Structures are given as C-alpha cells and as structure tokens.
A and B are shown apart, each in its own frame.
Chain A
C-alpha cells in the first residue's frame, strides 16, 4: 500500500507566471515520456521481475516518479495560476482552457490525453528493463529540451534536479539489468 507524505521531494520553484512554459512542461505530466507513464510502467512491470533487487528497484523508482509527478503538477499550477484570459489566448491555450479551465490534466505538449499505449509490460524482464532504461534517457532528453525553452532560473533549478534523477534511475536500471541477466544465465547452466 501507499501513504502520502505532505511535502514535495524537491522545492518546485517558479520565478514568474508563464503560460507558454506551462503548455510545454505539461508533457512531463501526461506525455509519452512523462512522469505518469514512468510511474505506471514501473509499478506494473514489477510483478514479473525474477530477482529481489529488480522487484525493489521498480517499486521504489515507480514510487519516486509519483513524487516527480507531483512536482510537475505544482510547477504547472504555479505557472498557470495567475494567468489572464489574454495570456492564455496568446499562448494558444484557448482549447485547453475550454476543456479544463486552469486545472492540471494529463496531456502532452500538444494537448493529446495520456494513454496506456505509451507504456509496455511485456512479461520479459530483459525487454522491460531495456524499455525502462530507454524511458529514463527519453525523460532526461525531454528535461533538456524544456530547459532550452525556459529562461526562468528558478524553474530551471527544479528541472535540473528532475533531469539528474533520470540519470540516476538509468544507472540503477542498468545495474538491475545486469543482475537479472546473470540470474537468467545461472538458471541455464548448472
């Protein structure tokens, strides 16, 4: 089971309201390489992992991704909160506003809603762990493109923290893959 902790993992800082940036950033909420996809992917893949290390790391990184999801939501909320209708129209977010007002919803940067088709749970631990490593690299790249799009040093500080986490997760998944591969090889030869 899970408990909520009434705190963020890292301070979600925003220097100024910026609707355009919210529109780009929301892809890390409901986009293909975003935090929701990451969390749900890992938490559902863990049931078919063959070693205790793999079960542990997928549970723990899947849980950490929920904390990142909360940071992204907080950033989007803060970037949008005080926006005027005029600013929303200028950022071409009128379509989003018509559907959601300024509420935080699971869409990518183009407004396409989240879908489970973004993720896989193959039942093959080697295939799944390769997907997870790729997912971390794609998320890292997304944070880099977002940092390129942003000129807000406060926001960039938070985005850099999240980018760093993807690198650490990639490392841990790589180690897990090696452990799983050794485990599978040991099963083949006696």
Chain B
C-alpha cells in the first residue's frame, strides 16, 4: 500500500472512529440535540470521504460496486498492512 492510500485510509479510520464515539454516546443520551447535530455532520463527512476512497481503491464493505475483476478480494487485507 502506497503512502497516499495509507494516509487516506488513516484519515478514514479516524473519522469513522469519531462517528462511533458519538454513536455510543447517543445510545445513552438520545435527547442530546447538540451531540446529534455533530453526529450527523460527521456522518456526512465520512460518507464523502468513504466514497472518494472506494472510487480510488475499491470496496471497503458489502453492497459496493466493483470494477473488473472482483475487487473485494484484492490484497492487502487489513492485517497485512504495514501501518508504521
């Protein structure tokens, strides 16, 4: 995986983590409107970035389009990436 892809992947991981943190918080604070607004804004940012990443590097999850040949099985898999 080249530097550019790794950089974008890490950015995506960080953004998705932010969304997860808000998600768990909202489970126990469902009426916190400010948190909900921030959550929705991060979800929007995540959607845009994920779309951009997948257009460039292939699907990250199910129900995503693939170019030929079937891109899902392309290496590296997450445990094979050197993150340092």
* Interchain CB contact under 8 A, A172 and B62: no
* Interchain CB contact under 8 A, A13 and B61: no
Query: Given that A6-B61, A8-B78 are contacting pairs, would A57 and B24 also be in contact in the complex, using a CB cutoff of 8 Å?
Result: yes
* Interchain CB contact under 8 A, B13 and A9: yes
| Interface size band for B | 20 to 34
Within 8 Å by CB of A4, from B9, B13, B61, lies B61
Which residue of A is nearest B25, CB measured?
A172
CA distance A4 to B62 in the complex (A): 7
Which residue of A is nearest B84, CB measured?
A13
A68-94 interface mask toward B, CB cutoff 8 Å, 1 = contact, 0 = none?
001001100110000000000000000
A61 in the interface (beta carbon within 8 A): yes
A2–chain B nearest beta-carbon distance, Å: 10
* Interchain CB contact under 8 A, B12 and A12: no
Within 8 Å by CB of A61, from B12, B24, B59, B63, lies B24
* Interchain CB contact under 8 A, B13 and A6: no
* Interchain CB contact under 8 A, B79 and A73: yes
List of A residues within 8 angstroms of B17 by Cβ: 9-10
* Interchain CB contact under 8 A, A13 and B27: no
* Interchain CB contact under 8 A, A6 and B24: no
A167–chain B nearest beta-carbon distance, Å: 12
List of A residues within 8 angstroms of B83 by Cβ: 11-13
* Interchain CB contact under 8 A, B10 and A11: yes
A97–chain B nearest beta-carbon distance, Å: 20
The chain B residues found within 8 Å of chain A, CB to CB, are 9-10, 12-13, 16-17, 20-21, 23-25, 27-30, 59-63, 72, 77-79, 81, 83-84
The chain A residues found within 8 Å of chain B, CB to CB, are 3-13, 15, 52-53, 56-57, 60-61, 64, 70, 73-74, 77-78, 154, 168-169, 172, 175-176, 179
